[in-house]
Amino acid sequence: MSRRTFVGAGFGFLAMLLAGTDCAQATYSIVACDAKTRECGVAVQTNNLAVGASVPYAQAGVGAVASQFETNPHHGPRGLALLAQGMSPAEVMKKILAEDGNFDGQGIAARQVGIVSIDGRTASYTGEEAAGAEWAGARSGAGYGIQGNGLSGPQVVEEMERAFLKSQGSLAERLMAALVAGDLAGGQRTGRESAALLVKTPDGWPMDIDLRVDHSSDPVRELRTLFDMQRARQEVIDANAAARKGEFDRARTLLMAAVARASGWPRVWIRAARVAESIEEPTLALQYINVAFTQNPAWADAEIGEGNFAQLGASAEFHHWVSAAKEKNAVAAFERLRDTGGATLENRITVSRMLLETGRASDALLVLKEIPPRVDESIELRLLRSAAYAAKGDYANAIEQCVVALNKEPKNLRVQYRMAQLKGKTRP
């Protein structure tokens, strides 16, 4: 059973004036840690500007702190340092309040603080002035603490707790679910302006999350959108890692989830397209590229020209996005290469990719044929030759490149996929 502490308000309007309560101070937050993953974080919303800059603090494997109402920004760093030294949340709370120092002319009566440690212990404090911001109170359990002031009622923290405990997924997902629940339950009496989600992980960036909506009429909704974009980015990163391990099915599933989650973000479509090409899904890559470049045509100029999408260059649909300037640059690189007798293997591969991407497969083949065949040629080079032959419609030689590659690495999944696709094109 969760430990519950409610601090009722009801001092009345005169008491609020005497306590110096400012309606811009209403805030609610949740601090939590996941002992299994060692992640710690804070989710918070307020009706003041840029709450993410001052209220939430967290450290992986240590704990999290939220200092609100009249925030003392020293509480977060100091609290985390004391937790890291092995002090309990209750001991930390006692010490940081004793050291408060009347920051910004306010004392501990104007503080509301929530602390959680990685071992699941919690502590909460609501000063007299903070308690006067009806409704104010706190609620906690193993691994989490919820606190708020100036709320529409106790149902805000109750619903936050219910959502946090019932939701599945990562700590960040559960924190986000709690914040959404608090917003739907009524949030602050005086409105809303900013929200933030902070999660620190043992791996650090880019696994860490630090998302902020500093000024909005609906900050939690916008924070949810940012969170979905963050999750989509991570899913593409995970898809790329899966592709490198040869887990093509898992990579494909992650890509589809990512683009569905952040469908209005061109960058996620572009990054997904690159991974799709690496798992021998050119049709999928082309679909993703078309969406990205349609959403923001400027990305076509930024992404095309370096050979990132060499396998797509034979497609007339892709060539629609290739500017005359990009094709001219590829030809110029080809001419420089032909004029330079001592071009390195890396130079030749780069130029051939540029030529393939811009639809100049014949020139790419010339460059690749000038590379003396060797028994130890890389799989990537064989696949590049295969793509060049296929772009010219020479499927026999394209397949031969795959055969040689498979003789070297019989279990290479990418080569197997490529060969299957090529053989499908040769069937009547």
> What domains are there in the chain, each with its CATH number?
3-216 (3.60.20.10), 324-426 (1.25.40.10)
Closest C-alpha to 144, from 40, 61, 8: 40
The confidence score (pLDDT) of residue 285 equals: 97
Closest C-alpha to 272, from 252, 255, 250: 255
The confidence score (pLDDT) of residue 25 equals: 61
Kindly state the tokens that stand for 222.
């916008």
The confidence score (pLDDT) of residue 372 equals: 74
Contacts of 322 (CB under 8 A, 6+ apart): 300, 304, 313, 357, 358, 359
Return per-residue pLDDT of the chain as tens, 428 residues: 344 343 333 333 333 333 333 333 689 999 999 999 999 999 999 999 999 999 999 999 999 999 999 999 999 999 999 999 999 999 999 999 999 999 999 999 999 999 999 999 999 999 999 999 989 999 999 999 999 999 999 999 999 999 999 999 999 999 999 999 999 999 999 999 999 999 999 999 888 999 999 999 999 999 999 999 999 999 999 999 999 999 999 999 999 999 999 999 999 999 999 999 999 999 999 999 999 999 999 999 999 999 999 999 999 999 999 999 999 999 999 999 988 776 788 999 999 999 999 999 999 999 998 887 675 789 999 999 999 999 999 999 999 999 999 999 999 999 999 999 999 888 76
The confidence score (pLDDT) of residue 375 equals: 58
385 CB-contact burial (10 Å; exposed 0-12 / middle 13-18 / buried 19+) = buried
The confidence score (pLDDT) of residue 22 equals: 36
| pTM of full prediction above 0.95 | no
Alpha-carbon distances, residue 205 vs 6, 226, 241 (angstroms): 37, 16, 16
The confidence score (pLDDT) of residue 134 equals: 85
Task: Give the rounded distance of the alpha carbon of 282 from its chain centre.
Answer: 25
Give the pairing type, strands 122-126 and 63-69: unpaired
State in Å, rounded, how far the first CA of the chain is from the last one: 69
The confidence score (pLDDT) of residue 371 equals: 82
The confidence score (pLDDT) of residue 15 equals: 33
The confidence score (pLDDT) of residue 3 equals: 40
Closest C-alpha to 48, from 25, 22, 67, 29: 25
Q: Is 69 left (phi over 0), alpha (psi -120 to 50) or beta?
A: left
